[in-house]
């Protein structure tokens, strides 16, 4: 198994967990924020849905200038799972096609002529496509808890769901 195939395997396994969390997003609370500086529930949920594909696409370029990201506006929760599916498919295709030489080659992020990041592409994918994604999924589980929505099992039992019981 190549390094890329291993990463895609993890991505697909984690996508199932992410799907369970996104399925719980209440459509009537998309504008809710836990704090004035926070993203709204809808903004955070859509960000989570699109991160893998957007980051994988960025990883295929190097060097790359600092991108201006803007998440699509979420109008309805019916948009979340199709966005997640498209994102996972895009990330799987892009990352899955990388050879070991490509995924271990350095990836560079630039701001004009100044280099901001220079690290192995696999480290970038691990940090931003996966760890960043997990971080936001954890935030979303807190939003759900604050809204009184049952939190699904993520890496084991939650206070609301026990997959082992």
Average pLDDT, the chain: 96
Report yes or no on 155 lying in a domain: no
Residues 6+ apart with CB under 8 A from 135: none
> 33 near 40, Cβ under 8 Å?
yes
Report yes or no on 129 lying in a domain: yes
Largest CA distance in the chain: 56
> 58 near 38, Cβ under 8 Å?
no
Structure tokens that stand for 98 in this block = 């990388």
Domain count, the chain: 1
pLDDT value of position 103 = 98
What would the pLDDT profile of 93-111 be if each residue is shown by its tens digit?
A: 999 999 999 999 999 999 9
Residues 6+ apart with CB under 8 A from 63: 108, 109, 110, 115
Report yes or no on 81 lying in a domain: yes
Kindly indicate the confidence band of residue 69, based on its pLDDT and cuts at 50, 70 and 90: confident
Report yes or no on 162 lying in a domain: no
What would the pLDDT profile of 14-51 be if each residue is shown by its tens digit?
A: 999 999 999 999 999 999 999 999 999 999 999 999 99
Rounded-to-integer distance, Cα 83 and Cα 67, Å: 20
The residue range of the domain holding 46 is 3-29+37-67+76-146
Kindly indicate the confidence band of residue 137, based on its pLDDT and cuts at 50, 70 and 90: very high
pLDDT value of position 153 = 95
């Amino acid at each position: 198994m190549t390094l890329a195939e291993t990463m895609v395997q993890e991505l697909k396994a984690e996508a199932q967990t992410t799907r369970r969390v996104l399925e719980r997003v209440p459509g009537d609370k998309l504008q809710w924020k836990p704090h004035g500086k926070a993203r709204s529930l809808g903004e955070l949920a859509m960000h989570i849905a699109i991160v893998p594909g957007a980051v994988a696409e960025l990883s295929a370029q190097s060097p790359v200038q600092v991108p201006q990201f803007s998440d699509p506006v979420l109008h309805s929760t019916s948009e979340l799972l199709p966005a997640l599916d498209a994102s996972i498919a895009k990330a799987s295709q892009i990352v899955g096609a990388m050879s070991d030489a490509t995924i271990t080659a350095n990836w560079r992020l630039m701001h004009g002529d100044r280099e901001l990041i220079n690290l192995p592409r696999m480290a970038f994918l691990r940090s931003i496509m996966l760890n960043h994604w997990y971080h936001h999924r954890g935030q979303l589980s807190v939003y759900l808890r604050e809204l009184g929505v049952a939190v699904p099992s993520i890496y084991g039992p939650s206070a609301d769901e026990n997959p082992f019981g």
